[in-house]
């Protein structure tokens, strides 16, 4: 028989600890663990796939609340484009308006998805990407967001993103350079960013997102080289194109945010058959208790595809 510490304290208040001890119940008795369901968020990317007029971030927040999500992850480039389309800019008043709206809707702003690339021999380009990422850390701080998604970057030898996707995210290196040199550039760049991340209190989550981070081994190589609590992993379920579950399991212990892809209506570039019950099981094994952020990447209308995806994730990640 097991008893929780709270129950033991209640017995003590009633003078019944002796009775509890008589049946083997003590403060050292293991507490039965109750698993809490993972909170489910949605990326604004789910509402806009870089095609046509960007959906206002305010609309994404309102729809997310109406659909029943717990939080929202903001795609940085989406926010910039939406503000520009509305005739404004991403400044402190704009950020504070979003923060206030999210709070009034009962939503967490729980993730900030950013883009950067450090895989280049051009030191000036790397410096600009470091400065851009530092600004993103400050934007996340202003919004009260605890983590940003970051990338290693890629060689850039593909003619287009469509070509990169057609080649399953694999592209040739720049002539005369090696992956080891690329990893060194990435490592040095993130080391420069660690003080800013700590100052802002925002964790960088390195995603398995093409380039040198295409596989879990590449992400872990960077994390193991830097060894900082301010650089961990963002696990994207849709970016492992081979041995997906084994790679997710390898990354799970270092993960601070999960981005969960769905493909209703067929994927924009490809579609994967992801067993979310299996994903949830391996994440529980790694004691992952954080957010699962939906990235609906299908061609179906967001108004129908996103609620279907939410139901799928609630079922898999529920208590």
Phi and psi at residue 31, in whole multiples of 5°?
A: -85, 130
Instruction: State pLDDT tens for residues 4-46.
Output: 444 544 544 445 444 434 434 444 435 445 678 999 999 999 9
User: What are the structure tokens assigned to 84, written together?
Assistant: 């520009």
DSSP 167: T
Instruction: State pLDDT tens for residues 158-170.
Output: 888 888 888 888 8
**Strands (DSSP E) along 141-253, which ranges?**
147-150, 203-207, 231-236
Select from 1, 52, 53 the least CA-distant residue to 29. 1
Which residue spans of the chain are classified as CATH 3.20.20.150?
36-317
319 pLDDT band, cuts 50/70/90, is: low
CB 153, CB 207: distance < 8 Å: no
DSSP 47: G
The C-alpha torsion from 82 through 86 and 92 to 97, rounded to 10°, is: -90
User: What are the structure tokens assigned to 54, written together?
Assistant: 């960007």
The whole-angstrom separation of Cα 184 and Cα 233 is 18
CA 214 to centroid of chain Cα atoms: 15
Specify the fold of 36-317: TIM Barrel (3.20.20)
Q: What angle do CA 26, 32, 35 make, to 5 degrees?
A: 155
Q: Per-residue pLDDT for 109 more than 80?
A: yes
The whole-angstrom separation of Cα 279 and Cα 112 is 22
**Burial level of 186, CB count in 10 A (0-12/13-18/19+)?**
buried
**Mean pLDDT confidence for 278-305:** 98
Lowest mean pLDDT among 20-34, 51-65, 122-136, 266-280: 20-34
Position 166 scores a pLDDT of: 84
């Amino acid at each position: 028989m097991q008893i929780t510490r709270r129950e033991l304290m209640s017995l003590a208040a009633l003078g019944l600890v002796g009775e509890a001890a008589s049946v083997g119940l003590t403060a050292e008795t293991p507490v039965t663990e109750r698993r809490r369901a993972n909170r489910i968020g949605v990326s604004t990317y789910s509402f806009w796939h870089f095609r046509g007029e960007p959906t206002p971030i305010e609309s994404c927040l309102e729809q997310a609340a109406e659909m029943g999500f717990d939080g929202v992850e903001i795609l940085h480039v989406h926010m910039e484009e939406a503000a520009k389309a509305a005739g404004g800019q991403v400044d402190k008043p704009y950020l504070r308006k979003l923060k206030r709206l999210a709070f009034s809707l009962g939503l967490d702003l729980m993730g900030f998805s950013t883009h950067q690339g450090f895989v280049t021999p051009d030191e000036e380009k790397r410096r600009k990407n470091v400065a851009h990422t530092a600004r993103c850390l400050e934007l996340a701080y202003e919004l009260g967001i605890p983590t940003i998604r970051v990338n290693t970057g890629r060689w850039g030898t593909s003619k287009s993103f469509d070509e990169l996707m057609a080649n399953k995210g694999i592209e040739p290196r720049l002539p005369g350079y090696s992956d080891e040199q690329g990893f060194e550039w990435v490592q040095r760049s993130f080391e420069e960013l660690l003080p800013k991340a700590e100052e802002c209190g925002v964790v960088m989550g390195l995603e398995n997102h093409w380039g040198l981070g295409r596989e879990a081994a590449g992400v872990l190589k960077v994390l193991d080289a830097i060894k900082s609590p301010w650089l961990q992993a963002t696990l994207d379920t849709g970016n492992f194109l081979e041995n997906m579950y084994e790679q997710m399991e390898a990354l799970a212990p270092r993960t601070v945010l999960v981005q969960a892809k769905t493909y209703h209506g067929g994927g924009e570039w490809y579609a994967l058959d992801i067993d979310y019950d299996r994903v949830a099981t391996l994440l529980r094994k790694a004691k992952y208790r954080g957010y699962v952020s939906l990235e609906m990447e299908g061609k179906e209308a967001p108004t129908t595809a996103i609620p279907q995806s939410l139901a799928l994730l609630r079922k898999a990640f529920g208590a």
